[in-house]
Amino acid sequence: MICPRCLMPIPEPLVFCQACIMRESMERLIEQQVDAVRRMLANREPFITVAQLGKRHIKTFGAEKTFCGADVKLKDRRGFLDPQIETLNGICLDCRRGVESVMEKVKHVPTT
């Protein structure tokens, strides 16, 4: 069977494309970050960072995932990123893109 979205083959016992499910799941998780990032930008909450394999990632709010989709493990060294002081330099490029896309949405979504 072939996935109608990405046109990749779906292995025999599966019914859905795992890559598309993971991509959609991550997109939904990023959409849920708008309110949390709005609070963080108001300097009520810092970003939580985790170090994995020599890279610094930004943890999503309310989930054990990073903005690039990596799973956060208990053994990962954690830190904080104050948006008023630090820039996103030194952060995983995919996490940086994820945070920047959420920040753009924060600018365009009205507060409730």
Say yes or no to pLDDT of 46 above 70: yes
Q: How far is CA 53 from the centre of its chain?
A: 17
Nearest to 30 by CA among 70, 68, 3: 68
Say yes or no to pLDDT of 112 above 60: no
Task: Quote the pTM value.
Answer: 0.74
Residues 6+ apart with CB under 8 A from 41: 83, 103, 106
Q: Which long-range contacts (CB under 8 A, 24 or more apart) does 101-104 make?
A: 101/30, 102/30, 102/33, 102/34, 102/37, 102/67, 103/37, 103/41
* Residue 8 DSSP one-character state: P
Say yes or no to pLDDT of 44 above 80: no
